[in-house]
Structure 1
């Protein structure tokens, strides 16, 4: 059960009891709205809040609030604010009314560092198909800044008119600086249409992250034309099991994932991304794998079209507002 700070509930029941009751309803709700969702689980430890009139009352809902501070030079700062308050709702069947209630209570409980920091964000991750809650998120100023999208196992899409001059191959250590350059193009673009942040040390952080990926033996694919690297696809494989950070987001099992996809400016729209995905996808869905997943930004006019064409569909939406104090 969740351990954390809490306040008395309107019904006099302990917050832990309310969370448990609402979780059972939330599990049923998730199964109704999207069969691709895993079974709903309790939120991580944090500050528990409960709103509503009492046991079984319409609109009764709960949530857990957590706070993250990312130090300078850490990889999450490439896509996250430095101070983050995150809401983990347990709405049961309360829908829009319950979401509205926990959002109002959440704002009242922002930690001091989040409230005062310009480099801050308020974040909620919620099933993409729950449009009732989405309405409440929009009403409070949250933006659907990213989605976790999934693709079931299956053959890769056909590449129309493949370019005979284009070669897709595994990256080697000598490609490091070219891969860093390609990754920086992706960060710069995403910072205009998503949650990425083009920070002064971004290049050094990305270089270190790529070196670590090579050390772990994770697949990195590059596209090359006339001796120039024009595309990059960073990938990996992971297992979802109880206790892992993905346990509440994806059904248990083996999953492939795409961490970063980038095509050099001026080369986009010529099939390079298609060629990279077509080459990488078979290795990301070994026998028994549940599928593949990735994150993309709905405001991105390229990725929001490209990934659905390749069979990916939103499972979870990451709602965010920066700075956190802009939450209504």
Structure 2
């Protein structure tokens, strides 16, 4: 690792084009060998974001990372989903020693964060997303103090448990605009539960922001929001974004088309009774019949319910987001 040289660039990718292609090709081969669902790695593009590069003793690039900063002021929707000051690194790591290259890249990132005049206080975080099966990254990420916080999980078409019927007195249907208050209430219950795990921060504006998003979704036909009711009382929901409304997720996975499950909620007093499994089964049948090749969703690593449930119904980790708070705690 001591032979690596790190630089920050604002004017273009590191080294000669052919050498940079070697870095991308090296990362692509490693990704393809560890996980067939990973997409082809893309070339970082310098626009308004600086690029960190790590080169070996011969000057060949072995790692690159695009730095991005987001700031959410009070009242913004993004404030519900994280701390106000978010520092992101998008890493691309190759070469014969990806563990050492990533370690050097993280050291360089820490040095750059220390030079920033603001945005690194107590309500800040340093974050990056790493392929879940690329285990060579785990030790350097841990050495630098980062911890896994969320997983993007994937399910291939027709994978998972066999179709499941709901409990005898539970019915399921697609929600519509008349269910607005019910759907918002269930989602806010989920938000409040997720606050325990540090990934959601309910703000005074969150209920109204949620109501506006739900209202748009429920006016569509079909809504792709399934509602479970026990004798007419709402007890759970599952909200799917079909491929045309999940285009942002398409570059994260090789299979296509891709759908995304944004919410799966079962009321606290109803958990463990098969309602969640029945909702997922209903949604899976609909997605499989529409030819959706892969379904994605996020869950918190610390949530004791989410991971076991989603693994049981056919999902497995694809990408893991690592984080450290505050950003300057990065070692």
**What is the aligned counterpart of 2:234 among 210, 216, 229?**
229
Residue 25 (structure 1) aligned with residue 30 (structure 2) = no
CA contact (8 A) 1:240 1:255 kept: no
Residue number in structure 2 paired with 1:281? 284
User: Which has the larger displacement, 281-290 or 221-230?
Assistant: 281-290
Residue number in structure 2 paired with 1:105? 108
CA contact (8 A) 1:236 1:284 kept: no
Distance 1:262 1:112 in 2: 41
CA contact (8 A) 2:250 2:256 kept: no
Residue number in structure 2 paired with 1:311? 314
CA contact (8 A) 2:14 2:20 kept: no
**Alpha-carbon distance change, 324 to 295 in structure 1, aligned in 2, over 3 angstroms:** same
Number of aligned positions between the proteins:
318
Unaligned runs of 5+ in 1: none
User: Secondary structure at 2:39's aligned position in 1?
Assistant: coil
Residue number in structure 2 paired with 1:324? 327
Residue number in structure 1 paired with 2:200? 196
Compute the TM-score of the two structures, normalised by the length of structure 2.
0.87
Distance 2:147 2:16 in 1: 29
Superposed CA offset, 1:249-301 (max 9, x none): 11252112210111111111111111111111122234442221111112111
Query: How big is the alpha-carbon RMSD for the aligned residues of Structure 1 and Structure 2?
Result: 2.7
CA contact (8 A) 1:170 1:220 kept: yes
The structural deviation recorded for 1:120 is 2.0
User: Secondary structure at 1:115's aligned position in 2?
Assistant: coil
Residue number in structure 2 paired with 1:250? 253
User: Which has the larger displacement, 307-316 or 64-73?
Assistant: 64-73
Alignment of 1:1-328 (within 5 A): 6=9, 14=15, 19-45=20-46, 46-55=49-58, 60-93=62-95, 94-110=97-113, 111-116=116-121, 118-154=122-158, 157-158=161-162, 162-217=166-221, 218-238=223-243, 245-251=248-254, 253-328=256-331
Residue number in structure 1 paired with 2:5? none
Superposed CA offset, 1:133-177 (max 9, x none): 111111112111111111111166246674111011111222211
User: Which has the larger displacement, 83-92 or 72-81?
Assistant: 72-81
User: Which has the larger displacement, 43-52 or 168-177?
Assistant: 43-52
**Alpha-carbon distance change, 21 to 71 in structure 1, aligned in 2, over 3 angstroms:** farther
User: Secondary structure at 2:268's aligned position in 1?
Assistant: coil
CA contact (8 A) 2:250 2:258 kept: no
